[in-house]
Amino acid sequence: MEFAFTKDQLMFKKEVIRFARKEIVPRVEENDRNHTFDFDAFRKMGEFGLLGLHLPETYGGSGADVVTTVLAGEALGEAGVDGGLTLSYGAHSFLCADTLCCHGTEAQRQKYLPDLISGAKIGCMGLTEPNAGSDVASMKTTATRKGDTYVLNGSKTFITNGPIADVALIYAKTDPQKAHDGISAFIVEKGTPGFEAGPPMNKLGCRSSQTSELFFSDCVIPAENLVGTEGTGFLMAMQTVEWDRSALLSPMVGGINHALARSVAYAKGREQFGRPIGAFYATKEKLASMKIFAEAAKLLVYRIAWCKGQGKPVNHLEAAVAKLFVGDWLLGPSNDALLLHGGYGYCHEYGMERIFRDGRLAPIGGGTSDVQKMIISKMI
C-alpha cells in the first residue's frame, strides 16, 4: 500500500500549478463576476495537454495514468482556478471525450477526439432531464430509428457546456418500453437541424461554466452517430461515475488546499488586539478543520483513482462515500475560510465567497448526497 506520488507526478503537478497561475487565474474573478466562459484559457489547457491527458497519443492525447490525471485536477484547484472552468473541463474531457474514446467506433474517435483533445471543439454530455434527474430510467427523450437515421425528440436540462458545445453526447430511449436497457447514446453536432441549446442559466456558483437546456425537435442524425450498440447507454453513463468520483472531485480537494494556504497567510498577517489572529484558538480550530477535510477527502478520491488505474472494479460503496464526503463536508471548510477572512471574505475580491458558492454544487451535481446515502445504506 503506497501512499506517495512519484517524483515525475509531483514535478508535473508543479508545472500544472505554474501554468494555471499564469494563464488562467488572473482572469478567474472577472470571469466569475461576468458569468463568462474563458475560451482562451480552455484552448491553452488543450495546448498544455490537459484536455486529453489520459487519452491515447494516437488521437493527440498524452496517455497518462489515472492517478496523474486526477492529480492534474487537484493542481488546477490548488492554483486557484475557479470551479466553473474545472467543471467545464470535467464534462468535456471525462463525460464526453472519454466515453467516445471507450465506446465509439474508430471512425468516431478519429473524427471527434483530435479536436476535443486540442480544445478546438468543446464537448458536453446530455443525460439529465426536467423529470429525470436521479431517476435516469424515467427519461422521456426518444431516438427513433428510420432507415439509416435516428430521429431525436425531447429535452435535457442542467447541461454543463450546453450553450457552447460543438459536440454533444446525448442519451435517449431507443426502446421507451424498457427502463435502463432502453437507453442508448448518440453524437449530435452543433448546427444539426432540430437541435437547439437554451440560454445560459444564472447559477449561484461555477458561474464561468455555461449551463443550459438542450432541445430536440425531429432532430435527424445519421445512424452512424450511435455510440456503441442500442440499449448500452446506461452502462456507458455509469462508467463515467469512476471519473466523477475522482477527476471531477479532485479540483475541489485542491480548491480547499488553496483556500487553506490563503487563510494561513491571512491569519499570520491580520492583527487584532495586538497580535496575529492566527494566535487565537478560534482561528486555529478553523485551520485545523480545513486541513483534516483536505487530507480525508484526498485519500477517498485517490482510492477511487488508484482502483481505476489498476483496472480494478471501483466499489460503488467506496465511490458513494467519496462523493458524499466531499459533497456534504465541503461546506464546513469553505465556510470557515470565508469567516476567517471576516468582512473581506464576504467580498468578491478575496475569492473566498466564490469558493464557498462553487462548492454548493458538490452535493447536487453528479448524484445528489441523498442518493449517495441511499446507495451506502443499501450496500451495508
Strand pairing class (167-173; 123-126): parallel
Query: Has residue 242 been placed in a domain?
Result: no
Band of residue 33 on the pLDDT scale cut at 50, 70, 90: very high
Question: Can you give the pLDDT at residue 242?
Answer: 84
Backbone dihedral angles phi then psi of residue 142, each to the nearest 5 degrees: -120, 155
Is the pLDDT at 181 greater than 80, yes or no? yes
Residue 366 to residues 81, 88, 128, 133, 144, Cα–Cα distance (Å):
20, 13, 10, 10, 27
Q: How many helices (H) and strands (E) does the chain have?
A: 15, 10
Contacts of residue 37, Cβ cutoff 8 Å, sequence gap at least 6: 31, 84, 85, 88, 164, 208, 209, 210
Q: Quick one: average pLDDT of 104-123?
A: 98
Work out the average pLDDT over 35-39.
Answer: 98
What 8-state DSSP symbol labels residue 51? T
- At residue 1, the pLDDT reads 73
What distance, in Å, lies between the first and last C-alpha atoms of the chain?
25
**Residue with cell string 435517449:** 172
The answer to whether residues 148 and 83 belong to one domain is no
Q: What is the mean pLDDT of the segment spanning 133-153?
A: 96
Question: What CA–CA distance (Å, rounded) separates 2 from 10?
Answer: 15
In a domain, 62, yes or no: yes
Are residues 292 and 348 located together in one domain of the fold? yes
> Residues 170-186: what's their mean pLDDT?
97
pLDDT at 312 (0 to 100): 85
Q: What is the pLDDT of residue 2?
A: 80
The answer to whether position 47 is within a domain reads yes
CA distance 246 to 72: 11
Domain end residue (candidates: 203, 235, 267)? 235
CATH code, domain with 333: 1.20.140.10
Which is it for strands 142-146 and 149-160: parallel, antiparallel or unpaired?
A: antiparallel
pLDDT in tens, 319-366: 999 999 999 999 999 999 999 999 999 999 999 999 999 999 999 998
Query: How many structural domains is the chain composed of?
Result: 3
Q: How far apart are CA 114 and CA 110, in angstroms?
A: 7
Q: How many CA atoms lie within 13 A of 262 on its CB side?
A: 26
Structure confidence by residue, pLDDT tens digits, 51-104: 999 999 999 999 999 999 999 999 999 999 999 999 999 999 999 999 999 999
**Of the residues 186, 206, 235, which one is the last residue of a structural domain?**
235
Model confidence band, residue 380 (pLDDT cutoffs 50, 70, 90): very high
124, β-bridge pairs? 168
Residue where a domain terminates, one of 68, 88, 122: 122
Could you read off the pLDDT of 188-200 as tens digits, one per residue? 999 999 999 999 9
CATH code where residue 94 lies:
1.10.540.10
Reply yes or no on whether the pLDDT at 314 is more than 80: no
Amino acid identity of 345? G
Cell numbers linked to 228: 456503441
Domain with 197 in it: 124-235
Task: Look at residue 168 and tell me if it is in a domain.
Answer: yes
- Rounded alpha-carbon distances, angstroms, from residue 157 to 119, 143, 164: 24, 17, 14
Tens of pLDDT along 197-253? 999 999 999 999 999 999 999 999 999 999 999 999 999 998 888 898 899 999 999
Q: Are residues 260 and 371 in the same domain?
A: yes
What whole-number distance in Å separates Cα of residue 48 and Cα of residue 61? 11
